[in-house]
Amino acid sequence: MKQAFIIGLLFLICTTISTAQNLEEELDKIFQSAYDPTKSGAAILISKNGKTIYQNQIGMANVEHQTPINTTTKFHIGSITKQFTAAAILILEEEGKLEVEDPISKHLPLIPYDKKGVTIAQLLAHTSGIKDYPQIPEIRKQMRDNLSPTNIVDLVNEEDLAFAPGTEVGYSNTSYILLGLIIEMVSGQDYATFLENRIFKTLDMHNTTVANYQTIVANRAVGYSEDQNDQLIHATFHTSPFSAGAIVSNVEDLNKWVQGLHKGKIINEKKLAKMFANNRLENGEATDIGFGWEINQIGEELCYEHSGLVPGYKANSVFIPEQRIYVVVLQNNEYGSPTPTMINAAALVAGKPYPNPTDSTQISEAAAKEITGIYTLENGEERVLFKNENGFHIKALGGQASRLFVLNAHTLFYKEGYRQIHFKKSEEGRIEGFMYENRRLKMKGTKIADAVPEQKNTVQLAIEQMEDLVGIYEFAPFEIAITLEGEALYIQPEGSNKLSLRPISQTTFLVAEIGAEITFTALPNKVVEANLLFEGDQFKGFRKQE
Protein backbone atom coordinates (compact mmCIF):
# COMPACT_ATOMS: atom_id res chain seq x y z
CA MET A 1 0.00 0.00 0.00
CA LYS A 2 2.78 2.40 0.94
CA GLN A 3 4.70 1.51 -2.22
CA ALA A 4 1.66 2.19 -4.38
CA PHE A 5 1.21 5.60 -2.72
CA ILE A 6 4.86 6.52 -3.38
CA ILE A 7 4.61 5.42 -7.02
CA GLY A 8 1.43 7.46 -7.45
CA LEU A 9 3.01 10.52 -5.86
CA LEU A 10 6.09 10.26 -8.08
CA PHE A 11 3.83 9.96 -11.14
CA LEU A 12 1.93 13.09 -10.10
CA ILE A 13 5.18 15.03 -9.55
CA CYS A 14 6.61 13.94 -12.91
CA THR A 15 3.37 14.80 -14.70
CA THR A 16 3.29 18.25 -13.08
CA ILE A 17 6.91 18.93 -14.08
CA SER A 18 6.23 17.76 -17.64
CA THR A 19 3.13 19.97 -17.90
CA ALA A 20 5.05 22.99 -16.59
CA GLN A 21 7.85 22.36 -19.09
CA ASN A 22 5.36 22.09 -21.95
CA LEU A 23 3.66 25.32 -20.86
CA GLU A 24 7.00 27.15 -20.74
CA GLU A 25 7.90 25.87 -24.20
CA GLU A 26 4.57 27.02 -25.63
CA LEU A 27 4.94 30.43 -24.00
CA ASP A 28 8.47 30.72 -25.39
CA LYS A 29 7.07 30.12 -28.88
CA ILE A 30 4.50 32.88 -28.43
CA PHE A 31 6.96 35.53 -27.29
CA GLN A 32 10.07 34.60 -29.26
CA SER A 33 8.13 34.80 -32.51
CA ALA A 34 7.19 38.40 -31.71
CA TYR A 35 10.61 39.95 -30.96
CA ASP A 36 14.02 40.10 -32.66
CA PRO A 37 16.70 39.45 -30.00
CA THR A 38 19.19 41.68 -31.85
CA LYS A 39 16.89 44.73 -31.71
CA SER A 40 14.78 46.42 -29.05
CA GLY A 41 12.53 43.94 -27.32
CA ALA A 42 10.45 43.18 -24.26
CA ALA A 43 10.27 41.92 -20.70
CA ILE A 44 7.47 39.48 -19.83
CA LEU A 45 6.15 38.13 -16.54
CA ILE A 46 3.25 35.78 -15.83
CA SER A 47 2.00 34.93 -12.37
CA LYS A 48 -0.75 32.67 -11.08
CA ASN A 49 -2.14 32.88 -7.56
CA GLY A 50 0.58 35.43 -6.79
CA LYS A 51 3.45 33.14 -7.80
CA THR A 52 5.59 33.87 -10.87
CA ILE A 53 5.30 30.93 -13.26
CA TYR A 54 7.02 32.42 -16.32
CA GLN A 55 9.49 35.20 -16.98
CA ASN A 56 11.41 36.11 -20.12
CA GLN A 57 13.49 38.96 -21.52
CA ILE A 58 14.08 39.28 -25.26
CA GLY A 59 16.13 41.89 -27.14
CA MET A 60 18.20 44.91 -26.22
CA ALA A 61 17.63 47.60 -23.61
CA ASN A 62 20.26 49.64 -25.48
CA VAL A 63 20.95 48.62 -29.07
CA GLU A 64 23.99 50.91 -29.48
CA HIS A 65 25.77 49.34 -26.51
CA GLN A 66 24.25 45.88 -27.08
CA THR A 67 22.93 45.83 -23.51
CA PRO A 68 20.34 43.06 -23.15
CA ILE A 69 17.04 43.52 -21.36
CA ASN A 70 17.14 41.82 -17.96
CA THR A 71 14.87 41.32 -14.94
CA THR A 72 15.67 44.78 -13.55
CA THR A 73 15.19 46.73 -16.80
CA LYS A 74 12.67 49.56 -16.45
CA PHE A 75 10.25 50.80 -19.08
CA HIS A 76 7.80 53.65 -19.49
CA ILE A 77 4.44 51.95 -18.94
CA GLY A 78 2.32 54.69 -20.56
CA SER A 79 -1.37 54.56 -19.73
CA ILE A 80 -1.03 51.68 -17.27
CA THR A 81 -0.20 54.70 -15.07
CA LYS A 82 -3.95 55.40 -15.06
CA GLN A 83 -4.46 52.42 -12.72
CA PHE A 84 -2.29 54.14 -10.11
CA THR A 85 -4.01 57.50 -10.61
CA ALA A 86 -7.42 55.87 -10.14
CA ALA A 87 -6.19 54.10 -6.99
CA ALA A 88 -4.88 57.40 -5.60
CA ILE A 89 -8.30 59.00 -6.08
CA LEU A 90 -9.98 56.08 -4.29
CA ILE A 91 -7.46 56.32 -1.43
CA LEU A 92 -8.50 59.95 -0.97
CA GLU A 93 -12.17 58.98 -1.13
CA GLU A 94 -11.58 56.28 1.48
CA GLU A 95 -10.08 58.97 3.72
CA GLY A 96 -13.12 61.20 3.23
CA LYS A 97 -11.21 63.94 1.41
CA LEU A 98 -13.31 63.73 -1.76
CA GLU A 99 -16.08 61.72 -3.38
CA VAL A 100 -15.94 60.46 -6.95
CA GLU A 101 -19.36 62.01 -7.61
CA ASP A 102 -17.98 65.46 -6.74
CA PRO A 103 -18.01 67.97 -9.61
CA ILE A 104 -14.41 68.74 -10.48
CA SER A 105 -15.07 72.44 -9.88
CA LYS A 106 -15.20 71.63 -6.14
CA HIS A 107 -11.47 70.84 -6.22
CA LEU A 108 -10.39 72.84 -9.30
CA PRO A 109 -12.29 76.13 -8.92
CA LEU A 110 -10.71 77.74 -12.01
CA ILE A 111 -12.19 75.15 -14.37
CA PRO A 112 -14.18 76.82 -17.21
CA TYR A 113 -17.94 77.15 -16.83
CA ASP A 114 -18.84 74.53 -19.49
CA LYS A 115 -16.80 71.88 -17.61
CA LYS A 116 -17.81 72.71 -14.02
CA GLY A 117 -20.45 69.96 -13.91
CA VAL A 118 -18.07 67.18 -14.98
CA THR A 119 -17.62 64.72 -12.10
CA ILE A 120 -14.47 62.95 -10.90
CA ALA A 121 -16.15 59.63 -11.79
CA GLN A 122 -16.64 60.82 -15.37
CA LEU A 123 -12.95 61.70 -15.58
CA LEU A 124 -12.07 58.22 -14.30
CA ALA A 125 -14.41 56.44 -16.74
CA HIS A 126 -13.58 58.53 -19.86
CA THR A 127 -17.13 59.86 -20.11
CA SER A 128 -16.32 63.50 -19.30
CA GLY A 129 -16.51 64.84 -22.86
CA ILE A 130 -13.19 66.67 -22.27
CA LYS A 131 -11.08 66.29 -25.38
CA ASP A 132 -7.99 64.10 -25.48
CA TYR A 133 -5.10 66.56 -25.74
CA PRO A 134 -2.86 64.49 -28.10
CA GLN A 135 -5.70 64.56 -30.65
CA ILE A 136 -5.90 68.36 -30.75
CA PRO A 137 -3.75 69.62 -33.69
CA GLU A 138 -2.59 72.83 -31.99
CA ILE A 139 -1.38 70.91 -28.96
CA ARG A 140 0.28 68.18 -31.04
CA LYS A 141 2.44 70.88 -32.61
CA GLN A 142 3.74 71.78 -29.13
CA MET A 143 4.32 68.27 -27.80
CA ARG A 144 8.10 68.63 -28.01
CA ASP A 145 8.03 71.82 -25.92
CA ASN A 146 7.85 70.00 -22.56
CA LEU A 147 4.42 71.35 -21.70
CA SER A 148 3.45 71.29 -18.01
CA PRO A 149 0.19 69.64 -16.90
CA THR A 150 -1.38 73.06 -16.32
CA ASN A 151 -0.21 74.21 -19.79
CA ILE A 152 -2.02 71.23 -21.31
CA VAL A 153 -5.19 71.79 -19.30
CA ASP A 154 -5.22 75.51 -20.16
CA LEU A 155 -5.00 74.68 -23.87
CA VAL A 156 -7.75 72.03 -23.67
CA ASN A 157 -9.98 74.39 -21.68
CA GLU A 158 -10.15 76.58 -24.76
CA GLU A 159 -11.83 73.68 -26.58
CA ASP A 160 -15.53 72.91 -26.40
CA LEU A 161 -16.64 69.61 -24.88
CA ALA A 162 -16.74 66.78 -27.41
CA PHE A 163 -20.09 65.61 -26.00
CA ALA A 164 -22.35 66.14 -22.98
CA PRO A 165 -20.72 64.54 -19.89
CA GLY A 166 -21.95 61.03 -19.18
CA THR A 167 -23.53 60.46 -22.59
CA GLU A 168 -20.64 58.86 -24.49
CA VAL A 169 -17.22 57.28 -24.05
CA GLY A 170 -14.29 59.31 -25.29
CA TYR A 171 -10.83 58.19 -24.18
CA SER A 172 -9.18 61.24 -22.65
CA ASN A 173 -5.64 61.62 -21.35
CA THR A 174 -6.64 65.15 -20.39
CA SER A 175 -9.17 63.72 -17.91
CA TYR A 176 -6.41 61.82 -16.14
CA ILE A 177 -4.16 64.88 -16.04
CA LEU A 178 -7.01 66.70 -14.30
CA LEU A 179 -7.21 63.79 -11.84
CA GLY A 180 -3.52 64.25 -11.08
CA LEU A 181 -4.09 67.92 -10.35
CA ILE A 182 -7.01 67.01 -8.07
CA ILE A 183 -4.77 64.55 -6.20
CA GLU A 184 -2.23 67.32 -5.65
CA MET A 185 -4.85 69.85 -4.59
CA VAL A 186 -6.63 67.53 -2.13
CA SER A 187 -3.58 65.76 -0.67
CA GLY A 188 -1.28 68.79 -0.46
CA GLN A 189 1.51 66.71 -2.06
CA ASP A 190 2.76 66.58 -5.61
CA TYR A 191 1.55 63.60 -7.62
CA ALA A 192 4.88 61.75 -7.64
CA THR A 193 5.34 62.08 -3.88
CA PHE A 194 1.80 60.90 -3.13
CA LEU A 195 2.27 57.76 -5.23
CA GLU A 196 5.69 57.12 -3.71
CA ASN A 197 4.41 57.37 -0.14
CA ARG A 198 1.02 55.71 -0.49
CA ILE A 199 1.60 53.02 -3.13
CA PHE A 200 5.22 52.38 -4.17
CA LYS A 201 6.64 52.17 -0.62
CA THR A 202 3.63 50.24 0.66
CA LEU A 203 4.19 47.51 -1.93
CA ASP A 204 8.02 47.60 -1.92
CA MET A 205 8.02 48.79 -5.53
CA HIS A 206 11.59 50.06 -5.42
CA ASN A 207 11.98 50.04 -9.21
CA THR A 208 9.01 52.30 -9.91
CA THR A 209 8.92 56.08 -10.18
CA VAL A 210 7.16 58.96 -11.90
CA ALA A 211 9.59 60.33 -14.50
CA ASN A 212 9.82 62.28 -17.72
CA TYR A 213 12.17 61.91 -20.67
CA GLN A 214 14.77 64.19 -19.09
CA THR A 215 14.95 62.41 -15.73
CA ILE A 216 17.97 60.16 -15.17
CA VAL A 217 16.55 56.70 -14.36
CA ALA A 218 18.91 53.81 -13.62
CA ASN A 219 18.38 50.69 -15.79
CA ARG A 220 15.81 52.41 -18.02
CA ALA A 221 15.60 50.86 -21.48
CA VAL A 222 16.14 53.23 -24.40
CA GLY A 223 12.93 53.87 -26.36
CA TYR A 224 12.98 53.17 -30.10
CA SER A 225 10.83 53.62 -33.17
CA GLU A 226 11.24 52.73 -36.87
CA ASP A 227 11.49 54.87 -39.99
CA GLN A 228 9.63 54.29 -43.24
CA ASN A 229 12.32 51.80 -44.28
CA ASP A 230 11.79 49.73 -41.10
CA GLN A 231 15.15 50.88 -39.73
CA LEU A 232 15.49 51.31 -35.97
CA ILE A 233 15.68 54.94 -34.80
CA HIS A 234 15.43 56.75 -31.47
CA ALA A 235 11.92 57.75 -30.45
CA THR A 236 10.96 61.42 -30.56
CA PHE A 237 11.16 63.49 -27.37
CA HIS A 238 7.68 64.06 -26.00
CA THR A 239 5.98 66.08 -23.26
CA SER A 240 5.60 63.92 -20.14
CA PRO A 241 1.99 62.73 -19.79
CA PHE A 242 2.04 63.24 -15.98
CA SER A 243 -0.75 61.31 -14.21
CA ALA A 244 -2.02 60.00 -17.56
CA GLY A 245 1.14 58.04 -18.37
CA ALA A 246 4.44 59.08 -16.72
CA ILE A 247 5.30 56.03 -14.58
CA VAL A 248 8.50 54.05 -15.22
CA SER A 249 8.55 50.52 -13.81
CA ASN A 250 9.51 46.90 -14.46
CA VAL A 251 7.55 43.66 -14.69
CA GLU A 252 8.36 42.46 -11.16
CA ASP A 253 7.14 45.69 -9.58
CA LEU A 254 3.96 45.63 -11.64
CA ASN A 255 3.31 42.10 -10.41
CA LYS A 256 3.69 43.42 -6.84
CA TRP A 257 1.21 46.15 -7.75
CA VAL A 258 -1.57 43.90 -9.00
CA GLN A 259 -1.11 41.36 -6.20
CA GLY A 260 -1.05 44.05 -3.50
CA LEU A 261 -4.05 45.83 -5.01
CA HIS A 262 -6.20 42.69 -4.99
CA LYS A 263 -5.11 41.76 -1.47
CA GLY A 264 -6.46 45.04 -0.14
CA LYS A 265 -3.11 46.64 0.67
CA ILE A 266 -3.94 49.88 -1.18
CA ILE A 267 -7.73 50.33 -1.02
CA ASN A 268 -10.43 48.41 0.82
CA GLU A 269 -12.75 45.83 -0.72
CA LYS A 270 -15.55 48.35 -1.30
CA LYS A 271 -13.28 50.74 -3.21
CA LEU A 272 -11.75 47.83 -5.13
CA ALA A 273 -15.21 46.81 -6.30
CA LYS A 274 -15.82 50.40 -7.42
CA MET A 275 -12.55 50.38 -9.40
CA PHE A 276 -13.61 47.30 -11.37
CA ALA A 277 -17.31 48.07 -11.73
CA ASN A 278 -18.58 48.42 -15.30
CA ASN A 279 -19.50 52.10 -15.59
CA ARG A 280 -22.67 53.01 -17.41
CA LEU A 281 -23.77 55.99 -19.45
CA GLU A 282 -26.75 58.13 -18.51
CA ASN A 283 -28.96 55.98 -20.76
CA GLY A 284 -27.92 52.84 -18.84
CA GLU A 285 -25.63 51.45 -21.54
CA ALA A 286 -22.60 49.56 -20.18
CA THR A 287 -19.20 50.94 -21.23
CA ASP A 288 -16.79 48.05 -20.44
CA ILE A 289 -14.66 50.60 -18.56
CA GLY A 290 -13.85 50.72 -14.86
CA PHE A 291 -11.64 53.24 -13.08
CA GLY A 292 -8.20 52.93 -14.73
CA TRP A 293 -9.01 49.48 -16.15
CA GLU A 294 -10.86 48.13 -19.16
CA ILE A 295 -13.22 45.19 -18.72
CA ASN A 296 -12.88 42.40 -21.27
CA GLN A 297 -12.68 38.64 -21.51
CA ILE A 298 -10.17 35.88 -22.30
CA GLY A 299 -12.15 33.01 -23.75
CA GLU A 300 -15.27 33.10 -21.59
CA GLU A 301 -13.48 34.40 -18.49
CA LEU A 302 -13.78 37.96 -17.22
CA CYS A 303 -10.53 39.94 -17.23
CA TYR A 304 -9.28 43.44 -16.44
CA GLU A 305 -6.60 45.08 -18.55
CA HIS A 306 -5.05 48.27 -19.85
CA SER A 307 -2.45 49.07 -22.48
CA GLY A 308 0.12 51.86 -22.56
CA LEU A 309 1.83 53.85 -25.31
CA VAL A 310 4.28 56.73 -25.17
CA PRO A 311 6.95 57.50 -27.76
CA GLY A 312 9.50 54.66 -27.72
CA TYR A 313 7.51 52.30 -25.49
CA LYS A 314 4.42 50.08 -25.49
CA ALA A 315 2.96 48.00 -22.68
CA ASN A 316 -0.01 45.87 -21.83
CA SER A 317 -1.18 43.85 -18.85
CA VAL A 318 -4.18 41.68 -18.04
CA PHE A 319 -5.57 40.14 -14.85
CA ILE A 320 -7.99 37.18 -14.84
CA PRO A 321 -9.59 37.28 -11.38
CA GLU A 322 -11.19 33.82 -11.41
CA GLN A 323 -7.80 32.09 -11.76
CA ARG A 324 -5.72 35.00 -10.43
CA ILE A 325 -3.61 35.02 -13.58
CA TYR A 326 -1.59 38.16 -14.36
CA VAL A 327 0.33 38.75 -17.60
CA VAL A 328 2.41 41.88 -18.22
CA VAL A 329 4.48 42.70 -21.31
CA LEU A 330 6.68 45.83 -21.48
CA GLN A 331 8.55 46.73 -24.67
CA ASN A 332 10.99 49.50 -25.57
CA ASN A 333 9.67 50.22 -29.03
CA GLU A 334 6.51 51.76 -30.44
CA TYR A 335 6.19 49.55 -33.53
CA GLY A 336 4.32 46.28 -33.24
CA SER A 337 2.03 45.54 -30.32
CA PRO A 338 2.39 43.49 -27.13
CA THR A 339 -1.36 42.86 -27.05
CA PRO A 340 -1.70 39.69 -29.23
CA THR A 341 1.11 37.89 -27.41
CA MET A 342 -0.28 38.93 -24.04
CA ILE A 343 -3.80 37.73 -24.82
CA ASN A 344 -2.66 34.43 -26.31
CA ALA A 345 -0.33 33.78 -23.38
CA ALA A 346 -3.09 34.50 -20.87
CA ALA A 347 -5.48 32.15 -22.68
CA LEU A 348 -2.84 29.42 -22.74
CA VAL A 349 -2.15 29.74 -19.00
CA ALA A 350 -5.91 29.76 -18.32
CA GLY A 351 -6.17 26.42 -20.10
CA LYS A 352 -8.26 27.72 -23.01
CA PRO A 353 -5.77 28.57 -25.78
CA TYR A 354 -6.88 30.36 -28.90
CA PRO A 355 -6.13 28.72 -32.28
CA ASN A 356 -3.06 29.72 -34.27
CA PRO A 357 -2.31 29.46 -38.01
CA THR A 358 -0.80 25.97 -37.58
CA ASP A 359 -4.25 24.78 -36.44
CA SER A 360 -5.79 25.82 -39.76
CA THR A 361 -7.63 23.14 -41.73
CA GLN A 362 -9.28 22.86 -45.16
CA ILE A 363 -12.90 23.09 -46.26
CA SER A 364 -14.46 22.08 -49.57
CA GLU A 365 -14.59 24.43 -52.54
CA ALA A 366 -18.38 24.41 -52.29
CA ALA A 367 -18.24 25.49 -48.65
CA ALA A 368 -15.65 28.14 -49.50
CA LYS A 369 -17.80 29.54 -52.30
CA GLU A 370 -20.78 29.65 -49.97
CA ILE A 371 -19.13 31.98 -47.43
CA THR A 372 -17.33 34.36 -49.82
CA GLY A 373 -19.07 37.56 -50.85
CA ILE A 374 -19.87 41.05 -49.60
CA TYR A 375 -21.17 41.69 -46.07
CA THR A 376 -22.60 44.84 -44.46
CA LEU A 377 -21.70 45.46 -40.82
CA GLU A 378 -24.04 46.97 -38.24
CA ASN A 379 -22.21 50.31 -38.47
CA GLY A 380 -22.84 50.51 -42.23
CA GLU A 381 -19.33 49.55 -43.35
CA GLU A 382 -18.85 46.83 -45.95
CA ARG A 383 -16.43 43.92 -45.95
CA VAL A 384 -15.38 41.75 -48.87
CA LEU A 385 -14.56 38.14 -48.03
CA PHE A 386 -12.70 36.35 -50.81
CA LYS A 387 -10.44 33.36 -51.42
CA ASN A 388 -7.36 33.11 -53.62
CA GLU A 389 -4.40 30.76 -53.94
CA ASN A 390 -3.13 31.96 -50.55
CA GLY A 391 -6.34 31.25 -48.66
CA PHE A 392 -9.19 33.37 -47.29
CA HIS A 393 -8.95 37.15 -46.88
CA ILE A 394 -11.25 39.93 -45.70
CA LYS A 395 -10.99 43.63 -46.49
CA ALA A 396 -12.84 46.92 -46.36
CA LEU A 397 -13.75 48.38 -49.74
CA GLY A 398 -10.63 50.23 -50.84
CA GLY A 399 -8.61 48.75 -47.97
CA GLN A 400 -5.89 46.22 -47.30
CA ALA A 401 -6.81 42.56 -47.02
CA SER A 402 -6.29 40.60 -43.79
CA ARG A 403 -5.52 36.88 -43.95
CA LEU A 404 -8.01 34.48 -42.41
CA PHE A 405 -7.49 30.86 -41.38
CA VAL A 406 -9.99 28.00 -41.23
CA LEU A 407 -10.90 26.59 -37.84
CA ASN A 408 -13.85 24.56 -39.13
CA ALA A 409 -16.64 24.72 -41.71
CA HIS A 410 -18.41 27.60 -39.92
CA THR A 411 -15.51 29.55 -38.33
CA LEU A 412 -12.59 31.54 -39.71
CA PHE A 413 -10.01 33.25 -37.52
CA TYR A 414 -7.34 35.95 -37.79
CA LYS A 415 -3.65 35.31 -37.14
CA GLU A 416 -4.02 36.39 -33.50
CA GLY A 417 -6.62 33.65 -32.93
CA TYR A 418 -8.94 35.60 -30.65
CA ARG A 419 -10.50 37.53 -33.54
CA GLN A 420 -12.94 35.14 -35.20
CA ILE A 421 -15.77 35.11 -37.73
CA HIS A 422 -18.67 32.69 -37.12
CA PHE A 423 -21.03 32.16 -40.06
CA LYS A 424 -24.80 31.90 -39.65
CA LYS A 425 -27.22 30.02 -41.92
CA SER A 426 -30.84 30.82 -42.71
CA GLU A 427 -33.67 28.32 -42.25
CA GLU A 428 -33.21 27.44 -45.93
CA GLY A 429 -29.57 26.51 -45.27
CA ARG A 430 -27.93 29.48 -46.99
CA ILE A 431 -25.21 31.65 -45.42
CA GLU A 432 -27.04 34.82 -44.39
CA GLY A 433 -24.33 36.53 -42.38
CA PHE A 434 -21.65 36.24 -39.74
CA MET A 435 -20.82 37.31 -36.21
CA TYR A 436 -17.41 38.99 -35.88
CA GLU A 437 -15.96 38.49 -32.40
CA ASN A 438 -12.96 40.22 -30.90
CA ARG A 439 -13.26 38.87 -27.37
CA ARG A 440 -15.97 41.01 -25.68
CA LEU A 441 -16.64 43.00 -28.86
CA LYS A 442 -19.19 41.44 -31.19
CA MET A 443 -20.50 42.78 -34.49
CA LYS A 444 -23.02 41.28 -36.89
CA GLY A 445 -22.43 41.15 -40.65
CA THR A 446 -25.24 40.57 -43.17
CA LYS A 447 -24.46 39.03 -46.54
CA ILE A 448 -25.63 41.25 -49.40
CA ALA A 449 -23.90 39.68 -52.41
CA ASP A 450 -22.27 36.42 -53.42
CA ALA A 451 -20.11 37.95 -56.13
CA VAL A 452 -16.73 39.29 -55.05
CA PRO A 453 -15.38 42.38 -56.85
CA GLU A 454 -12.09 41.97 -58.67
CA GLN A 455 -9.17 42.66 -56.35
CA LYS A 456 -6.95 45.62 -57.16
CA ASN A 457 -3.33 45.10 -58.15
CA THR A 458 -0.47 47.55 -57.90
CA VAL A 459 0.49 49.47 -61.04
CA GLN A 460 3.77 51.14 -61.97
CA LEU A 461 4.02 54.95 -62.21
CA ALA A 462 6.77 57.09 -63.67
CA ILE A 463 8.70 59.33 -61.29
CA GLU A 464 7.29 62.36 -63.08
CA GLN A 465 3.74 61.21 -62.39
CA MET A 466 4.49 60.77 -58.70
CA GLU A 467 6.23 64.16 -58.47
CA ASP A 468 3.00 65.81 -59.68
CA LEU A 469 1.20 64.56 -56.53
CA VAL A 470 3.67 65.91 -53.97
CA GLY A 471 2.33 68.72 -51.78
CA ILE A 472 0.21 69.70 -48.78
CA TYR A 473 -3.53 68.98 -48.94
CA GLU A 474 -6.05 70.62 -46.62
CA PHE A 475 -8.78 68.34 -45.24
CA ALA A 476 -10.82 70.29 -42.70
CA PRO A 477 -9.92 70.12 -39.86
CA PHE A 478 -6.54 68.50 -40.67
CA GLU A 479 -3.80 68.51 -43.30
CA ILE A 480 -1.89 65.73 -45.00
CA ALA A 481 1.49 65.86 -46.71
CA ILE A 482 2.32 63.77 -49.78
CA THR A 483 6.07 63.22 -50.17
CA LEU A 484 8.30 61.35 -52.60
CA GLU A 485 11.30 59.51 -51.16
CA GLY A 486 13.38 57.63 -53.70
CA GLU A 487 10.82 55.90 -55.89
CA ALA A 488 8.08 55.64 -53.29
CA LEU A 489 5.24 57.97 -52.28
CA TYR A 490 4.22 58.55 -48.66
CA ILE A 491 1.26 60.19 -46.96
CA GLN A 492 1.64 61.86 -43.56
CA PRO A 493 -1.48 63.09 -41.76
CA GLU A 494 -0.82 66.07 -39.52
CA GLY A 495 0.74 64.92 -36.25
CA SER A 496 1.06 61.28 -37.38
CA ASN A 497 3.68 58.98 -38.85
CA LYS A 498 4.34 58.56 -42.56
CA LEU A 499 2.36 55.84 -44.32
CA SER A 500 3.17 54.28 -47.69
CA LEU A 501 0.99 54.84 -50.76
CA ARG A 502 0.46 51.91 -53.15
CA PRO A 503 -0.75 52.89 -56.64
CA ILE A 504 -3.64 50.81 -58.02
CA SER A 505 -4.28 53.16 -60.98
CA GLN A 506 -2.79 56.32 -62.42
CA THR A 507 -4.66 58.43 -59.86
CA THR A 508 -5.77 56.10 -57.05
CA PHE A 509 -3.64 54.78 -54.18
CA LEU A 510 -4.12 52.46 -51.21
CA VAL A 511 -2.97 53.54 -47.75
CA ALA A 512 -2.42 49.92 -46.79
CA GLU A 513 -1.52 50.40 -43.11
CA ILE A 514 -4.94 51.85 -42.27
CA GLY A 515 -7.06 50.34 -45.03
CA ALA A 516 -7.82 53.65 -46.76
CA GLU A 517 -7.92 54.77 -50.38
CA ILE A 518 -7.04 58.18 -51.83
CA THR A 519 -7.84 59.45 -55.34
CA PHE A 520 -6.30 62.56 -56.90
CA THR A 521 -8.16 64.82 -59.35
CA ALA A 522 -6.34 67.16 -61.74
CA LEU A 523 -7.04 70.14 -63.87
CA PRO A 524 -4.84 70.27 -66.98
CA ASN A 525 -1.24 69.71 -65.86
CA LYS A 526 -1.97 70.32 -62.17
CA VAL A 527 -3.26 68.08 -59.35
CA VAL A 528 -5.63 70.19 -57.22
CA GLU A 529 -7.85 67.82 -55.24
CA ALA A 530 -7.63 64.60 -53.21
CA ASN A 531 -10.51 62.39 -52.09
CA LEU A 532 -9.90 60.11 -49.12
CA LEU A 533 -12.04 57.01 -48.49
CA PHE A 534 -11.63 55.60 -44.99
CA GLU A 535 -13.95 53.08 -43.32
CA GLY A 536 -16.85 54.10 -45.52
CA ASP A 537 -16.43 57.86 -44.98
CA GLN A 538 -15.41 60.30 -47.71
CA PHE A 539 -13.10 63.29 -47.07
CA LYS A 540 -12.25 65.91 -49.67
CA GLY A 541 -8.99 67.85 -49.56
CA PHE A 542 -7.56 70.68 -51.64
CA ARG A 543 -3.93 71.21 -52.49
CA LYS A 544 -2.36 74.30 -50.96
CA GLN A 545 -1.09 76.94 -53.36
CA GLU A 546 2.70 76.88 -53.73
By CB neighbour count within 10 A (0-12 exposed, 13-18 middle, 19+ buried), where does 448 fall? exposed
Rounded to an integer, what is the distance from CA 482 to the centroid of its chain?
A: 27
Report the alpha-carbon angle 337-261-57, nearest 5: 35
Burial 357-381 (b: 16+ CB within 10 A, else e): eeebeebeeeebebbbbbbbbeeeb
Residues 191 and 319 in one domain: yes
CATH code, 501 = 2.40.128
Residues 301 and 204 in one domain: yes
Q: Measure the CA–CA gap between 543 and 469, rounded to whole angstroms.
A: 9
Name the strand (E) or helix (H) holding 165: none
**For position 495, what pLDDT does the model report?**
64
Q: What is the DSSP secondary-structure string of 273-311?
A: HHHTS--B-TTS-B-SB-SS-EEEEETTEEEEEEEEEET
* 3-state secondary structure labels for all residues of 181-220: HHHHHHHCCCHHHHHHHHHHCCCCCCCCEECCCCCCCCCE
265 and 412 in a single domain? The answer is no
Question: Averaged over 327-340, what is the pLDDT?
Answer: 94
Buried b (16+ CB within 10 A) or exposed e, 146-181: ebebeebbebbbebeeeeebbebbbebbbbbbbbbb
Dihedral (CA of 123, 126, 127, 132) sign: positive
Is 140's pLDDT higher than 80?
Answer: no
The rounded distance, in Å, linking the Cα atoms of 261 and 88 is 12
Whether residues 173 and 288 fall in one domain:
yes
What pLDDT shows up at residue 444?
97
Residue 539 forms part of a structural domain: yes
User: How many structural domains is the chain composed of?
Assistant: 3
Instruction: List, for residues 167-218, the tens digit of each pLDDT value.
Output: 999 999 999 999 999 999 999 999 999 999 999 999 999 999 999 888 899 9
Q: CA 291, CA 268: separation in Å to the nearest integer?
A: 15
Answer yes or no: is 285 within a domain. yes
List Cα–Cα distances, 370 to 386, 387, 436, 464, in angstroms.
11, 11, 17, 45
Q: 440 is in which domain, residue-wise?
A: 358-449
Which has the higher per-residue pLDDT, 535 or 67? 67
Give a yes or no: residue 435 inside a domain: yes
For the full predicted model, state whether its pTM sits above 0.85: no
Q: Is 411 exposed, middle or buried (0-12, 13-18, 19+ CB in 10 A)?
A: middle
Residue 430: how many other CB atoms lie within 10 Å: 10
431 with 333, same domain? Answer: no
Query: Are 404 and 394 contacting, i.e. CB atoms less than 8 angstroms apart?
Result: yes
* Cβ proximity of 393 and 385 under 8 Å: yes
Residue 231 is predicted with a pLDDT of: 86
Kindly report, residue by residue over 70-105, the tens digit of the pLDDT: 999 999 999 999 999 999 999 999 999 999 999 999
CATH code, domain with 96: 3.40.710.10
Q: Are 303 and 320 in contact (CB under 8 A)?
A: yes
Q: Do residue 365 and residue 416 come from a single domain? A: yes
370 located within any domain = yes
Mean pLDDT computed over every residue of the chain: 89
Q: Looking at the structure, tell me whether residues 82 and 229 fall in a common domain.
A: yes
Are 419 and 534 members of one domain? Answer: no
**Predicted pLDDT of residue 377:** 93
Query: Residue 502 pairs with which residues in a beta bridge?
Result: 510
CB 469 within 8 A of CB 475: no
Q: Residue 9's pLDDT is what?
A: 43
Same domain (yes/no): 150, 232: yes
Residues 276, 153, single domain; the answer is yes
Question: Which pLDDT belongs to residue 336?
Answer: 86
- Contact at 8 Å (CB) between 93 and 267? no
- Are both 438 and 511 inside the same structural domain? no
d(CA 325, CA 46): 7
Q: How many Å apart are CA 137 and CA 372, to the nearest integer?
A: 41
* pLDDT tier at 457, thresholds 50, 70, 90: low
- Quote the CA–CA distance of 477 and 530 in Å, as a whole number: 15
Query: Is the CB of residue 384 less than 8 Å from the CB of residue 448?
Result: no
